[in-house]
Amino acid sequence: MTENGVPADAAGGDVLVRVQGLKKYFPVQSTSAFRRSHEQVHAVDGVDLEVFRGETLGLVGETGCGKSTLARCIARLLDLSEGHVDFDGRDITNLSARQMRPLRREMQIIFQDPYGSLNPRRRVGSIIGDPFALHGVADGAERKRRVQEVMELVGLKPEHFNRFPAEFSGGQRQRIGVARALALRPKLIICDEPVSALDVSIQAQIINLLADLQSEFNLTYIFIAHDLSVVRHVSDRVAVMYLGKIVELAPVEDVYQVPRHPYSNALLSAVPMPDPNQKVDSHQIILSGDVPSPINPPSGCRFHPRCPKAQAKCSVDDPALIPVLGDPPGHVTACHFPVETGEVMESRPGVIAGEGAPAA
């Protein structure tokens, strides 16, 4: 979140990351006797995105929607199948590993699994010291000092420098992950579901830590999650992804108050309300069927087979990501029949609760 709570784009902040037409396909491992299958997993199928300096962009969607893949493409841990990625004004799409190296100081990742993302055989000081070692920033005593400095920043005791990850709890390990990402004061930190594996009480601590660090170091976050309440709390803008494409992108409160895309509506309706007496939006929209396979995505709008509002046009034309229904330019939706303000979406006729997988 920016300091005064105003969305970054409105304040005219410049673009740190620009993604254009990004597609990432994975070849399918063939299970038949034939050597090569020509099928591909359309993990990310055409994404355009801008991330502004200093903001937190939330990225939500179900498992398999491509959000992690998108993040890894941005971080160039994966090569793009098509499209471009610009970082800080520079096209990094086709940079080699060696060329990417200095840029990695500016762009870091915090991973989801606090148990898997730290090498169990290395001491914490060594893990956090890695960035300093790799980029030749500091050595010996100086490195130790800076490692301990960043440990303190994330709420760890500097004396625990020599311990192994196994000796820390989940929340503490995640702090180690944050420390490692923060070490060289990067411009961008991609948080790939950083709190999903933590207990709820610990989640709050880590999120607050991330928020504090953002203000202090003017960080930009791409925050990936599937938990909508978490995303609402941390983001300036939110992008909703479905089957490899962004279906809606808007400032955070707009997404939660006036979601335009039927999928966004379904996701939100599944968020449990803390107050059982609240009648508003207590009608849960149940989508029929499972998420289709990304190997063979549906024609036209990918969501049409499950969409309660789908009509003939939807199976033919893939809707563009544009403002609809008079929305401001910052709120874009990819839908032919977006949900009106105040409209109550019905589940698909004939669908009974329990039949078909619920959303989110």
Partner 1 sequence: MSLSPSDSVAIEDAQVASGTPPPEGAAASIIEGRSPWRLAYERLRRDRASLVALGVVVVIILVAIFAPVIAALTGHGVYEQFRSTGLTPDGLPVGPNSQFLLGTDDQGRDILVRIAYGARISLIVGVVATLAEVVLGTVLGLAAGYFGKVVDTVIARIIDIVLSIPFLLFAISLVSISHPSLTIVIVVIAVFGWAAVARVVRGQVLSLREKEYVEAARALGAGPWRIMFIDILPNIVAPIIVYATLLIPVTIVIEASLSFLGVGVPPPTADWGTMISGAQQIYQQAWWYLLFPSLALLITTVAFNIFGDGLRDALDPRAEQLYE
**Interacting residue ranges for partner 1, rule: CB under 8 A:** 75, 77, 97, 100-102, 104-105, 108-109, 111-113, 116-122, 130-131, 134-135, 157, 159-160, 162-172, 177, 180, 202
**167 vs 216, which CB is nearer to partner 1?**
167
Q: Which is nearer to partner 1, 133 or 295 (CB)?
A: 133
Tokens coding 92: 């990094």
Closest among 64, 22, 68, 13 to 41, alpha carbons compared: 64
- Decide whether 191 or 291 has the Cβ nearer to partner 1: 191
- How far CA 294 is from CA of 42, 88, 133, 158, 330, in Å, comes to 5, 31, 40, 46, 28
Nearer to partner 1, 67 or 261 (CB): 67
Nearer Cβ to partner 1 (101/283): 101
What is the rounded distance in angstroms from the CA atom of residue 251 to the CA atom of residue 271?
A: 19
Q: Tell me if residue 151 falls in helix, strand or coil.
A: helix
Instruction: List all residues 6 or more positions away from 102 whose beta carbon is below 8 Å from its beta carbon.
Output: 135
Buried b (16+ CB within 10 A) or exposed e, 137-162: ebeeeebbebbbebbebbbbeeebbe
Nearer to partner 1, 126 or 284 (CB): 126
Q: How far is the CB of 63 from partner 1 (least distance, A)?
A: 16
Instruction: Say if strands 40-52 and 15-27 run parallel, antiparallel, or are unpaired.
Output: antiparallel
* 157, 151 contact by CB (below 8 A): yes
Dist CA 347 CA 306 (whole Å)? 10
Closest distance of CB 137 from partner 1, Å: 12
Orientation of helix 170-182 relative to helix 124-134, angle to 10°: 20
